[in-house]
Amino acid sequence: MSSLTIPPSTPLYDDEPPSPEEGPPSPRNIIEPDSDLSDNGHETGSCDTSTKSVRESIFNFIKENGRTYHAYQAGSYLFPNDPPELERLDLQFEILKVLFGGRNHFAPLENPRKILDIGTGTGKWAVQMAKKFPNAEVTGTDLSPIQPMYYPANCKFIIDDAAEPDWMIRPSSLDYVHTRVLLGAFTDFREIIKKAYHSLRPGGYLESQEMYSMLFCDDGTMPPNYPLLVWQRRQDGAAMDAGRPMRIANKLKRWYEQAGFVDVKEEMFKLPINSWPKDPQFKMLGRFSEQNLLDGLQGFSLAWFSRVLRWTKDEIEVDLVNVRKAISDRSVHAYLKIYVVWGRKPYPNEVPRQS
Ligand X SMILES: C[S@@+](CC[C@H](N)C(=O)[O-])C[C@H]1O[C@@H](n2cnc3c(N)ncnc32)[C@H](O)[C@@H]1O
Q: Least CB distance from residue 124 to ligand X, whole Å?
A: 6
Contact by Cβ (8 Å): 90, 124: yes
Which positions from 282 through 341 interact with ligand X, judged by CB under 6 A? none
What is the rounded distance in angstroms from the CA atom of residue 71 to the CA atom of residue 149?
Answer: 20
Q: Least CB distance from residue 67 to ligand X, whole Å?
A: 13
Q: By C-beta, is 216 or 300 nearer to ligand X?
A: 300
Distant-in-sequence, close-in-space partners of 176: CB < 8 Å, separation ≥ 6: 105, 107, 109, 112, 114, 115, 116, 200, 204, 205, 206, 207
247 binds ligand X (CB under 6 A): no
* Closest by CA position to 125, among listed 114, 116, 134: 116
297: part of which helix (H) or strand (E)? helix 280-303
Q: By C-beta, is 81 or 306 nearer to ligand X?
A: 81
Q: Least CB distance from residue 1 to ligand X, whole Å?
A: 10
Give the sign of the dihedral formed by CA 227, CA 230, CA 235, CA 238. Answer: negative
Q: Least CB distance from residue 73 to ligand X, whole Å?
A: 7
Q: By C-beta, is 154 or 208 nearer to ligand X?
A: 208
Q: Which of 13, 61, 69, 77 binds ligand X (CB under 6 A)?
A: 77
What is the rounded distance in angstroms from the CA atom of residue 124 to the CA atom of residue 102?
Answer: 14
Give the sign of the dihedral formed by CA 46, CA 51, CA 142, CA 255. Answer: negative
CB atoms within 10 A of CB 54: 15
Q: Are strands 4-5 and 155-159 parallel, antiparallel or unpaired?
A: antiparallel
Which positions from 149 through 208 interact with ligand X, judged by CB under 6 A? 161-163, 180-182, 185
- Residues that bind ligand X (rule: CB under 6 A) add up to a total of 20
Q: By C-beta, is 210 or 290 nearer to ligand X?
A: 210
Question: Nearest-CB residue to ligand X?
Answer: 121
Q: By C-beta, is 13 or 311 nearer to ligand X?
A: 13
Which positions from 12 through 71 interact with ligand X, judged by CB under 6 A? 70
Give the sign of the dihedral formed by CA 203, CA 259, CA 206, CA 161. Answer: positive
Q: By C-beta, is 120 or 289 nearer to ligand X?
A: 120
**Alpha-helix runs per DSSP H in 152-214:** 189-199
Q: Least CB distance from residue 78 to ligand X, whole Å?
A: 9
Q: Least CB distance from residue 15 to ligand X, whole Å?
A: 22
Q: Least CB distance from residue 190 to ligand X, whole Å?
A: 14
Taking residues 92 to 131 in sequence order and writing x for each that binds ligand X by CB under 6 A, - otherwise, the string is xx-------------------------xxx----------
Q: By C-beta, is 163 or 262 nearer to ligand X?
A: 163
143 binds ligand X (CB under 6 A): yes
Q: By C-beta, is 60 or 312 nearer to ligand X?
A: 60
Q: Least CB distance from residue 144 to ligand X, whole Å?
A: 5
Q: By C-beta, is 144 or 199 nearer to ligand X?
A: 144
- 81 class by beta-carbon count within 10 Å (0-12 exposed, 13-18 middle, 19+ buried): buried
Which residues on adjacent β-strands are paired with residue 343? 206
Q: Report how far Cα 81 is from the mean position of its chain's Cα atoms.
A: 14
Which stretches of the chain bind ligand X, using CB under 6 A?
70, 76-77, 89, 92-93, 119-121, 141-144, 161-163, 180-182, 185
